[in-house]
């Protein structure tokens, strides 16, 4: 994701935009403290010995907070690795920079993640770790589009239970149900079209409308990918993930066109998903975006 500065108010709406906890092997805190007493670098390894993680504590988090992030990182790593097979060549070490300030978290490359705390003091770790472990585009760009890449990151956030300002823990299907009721859904062919998708996912001008348009994009790809995985399984989804010719690959793997799959998905969400509760509708993220829905250019919703 691209890095950009936004106001504190917008952060409350946008920033990342899814038993026993695992124990790391050979965990160690490096002897690197400043006069403040905060640990500056914190190193641990995955249980399978295939990945090392290093936290750069730029935000001066406490040891307890670092241990919590370690636990969350290992849980997400194990869950993602067990869920999907990928021929993407991972790094042997991932550096996670825990930063301050009101900016958007992003994955710089397969071994560098930059996280900014949300208004809730949470980091969107699962989302960015998905990108780092599975790749995006040719070289951490969006040359292969956004739908499967951002959709899968949203899927794992909900599955693992990562709550942050941009989603408030509300399932993507429920938010999609609301958008369908309001006729504010973007046709999937537009989310696959790279030029249009760039305007949705990476706006050059930041306003309330652009943030809500961005939010709609994430809701839709998260809901659609969740539908594909839950209905057809991970094996088929693996074959379309990050594919440079997504529409052709979808038809080859699912024996259905993008439009056919879109109709199935919309029908499922319309007739099988409960509407948002009063509490969910009154959440900050929903109140903000509901207020802006009618301000978005209607052309985005037209077929």
Q: What's the count of helices (H) and strands (E) in the chain, helices before strands? A: 13, 6
| pTM, entire model | 0.87
- Lowest-confidence region among 147-151, 200-204, 221-225, 264-268: 200-204
pLDDT digit string, tens, across residues 136-191: 988 778 899 999 999 999 999 999 988 766 667 899 999 999 999 999 999 999 99
pLDDT digit string, tens, across residues 253-297: 999 999 999 999 999 999 999 999 999 999 888 999 999 999 999
Could you give the 3-state DSSP secondary structure of residue 206?
A: coil
Domain with 211 in it: 172-301
| Same domain flag for 197 and 133 | no
Q: How many whole angstroms from its chain centre is CA 64?
A: 25
Q: Which of 281, 104, 132, 126 is nearest to 210 (CA)?
A: 104
| Same domain flag for 22 and 135 | yes
DSSP state of 146: S
| Same domain flag for 211 and 116 | no
Any domain includes 3: no
Task: Evaluate if residue 24 carries a pLDDT over 60.
Answer: no
95-124 mean pLDDT = 87
Q: How many whole angstroms from its chain centre is CA 224?
A: 13
CA distances from 102 to 29, 62, 200 (A): 27, 20, 21
> Domains in the chain: how many in total?
2
- Residue 36 has a CB neighbour count (10 Å cut-off) of 8
Any domain includes 198: yes
């Amino acid at each position: 994701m691209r890095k950009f500065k936004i106001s504190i108010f917008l952060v409350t709406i946008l920033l990342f935009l899814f038993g026993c906890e695992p124990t790391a092997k050979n965990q160690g805190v490096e002897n690197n403290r400043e006069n403040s007493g905060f640990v500056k670098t914190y190193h641990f390894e995955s249980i399978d010995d295939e990945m090392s993680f290093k936290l750069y504590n730029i935000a001066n988090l406490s040891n307890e907070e670092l241990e919590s992030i370690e636990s969350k990182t290992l849980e997400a790593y194990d869950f993602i690795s067990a869920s999907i097979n990928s021929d993407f060549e991972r790094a042997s070490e991932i550096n996670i920079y825990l930063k301050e300030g009101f900016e958007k978290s992003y994955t710089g490359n397969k071994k560098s993640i930059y996280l900014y705390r949300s208004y809730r003091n949470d980091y969107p770790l699962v989302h960015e770790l998905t990108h780092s472990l599975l790749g995006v585009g040719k070289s951490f760009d969006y040359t292969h589009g956004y739908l499967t890449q951002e959709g899968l990151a949203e899927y794992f956030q909900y599955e693992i239970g990562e709550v942050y300002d941009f989603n408030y823990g509300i399932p993507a299907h429920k938010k999609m149900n609301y958008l369908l009721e309001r006729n504010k859904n973007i046709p999937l062919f537009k989310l696959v079209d790279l030029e249009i998708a760039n305007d949705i996912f990476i706006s050059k001008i930041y306003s309330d409308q652009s943030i809500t348009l961005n939010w709609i994009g994430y809701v839709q790809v998260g809901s659609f990918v969740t539908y594909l995985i839950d209905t057809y399984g991970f094996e088929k989804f693996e074959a379309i993930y990050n594919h440079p010719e997504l529409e052709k690959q979808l038809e080859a793997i699912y024996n259905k066109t993008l439009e056919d799959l879109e109709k199935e998905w919309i029908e499922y969400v319309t007739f099988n998903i409960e509407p948002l509760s009063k509490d969910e509708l009154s959440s900050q993220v929903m109140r903000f975006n509901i207020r802006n829905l009618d301000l978005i250019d209607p052309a985005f919703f037209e077929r």
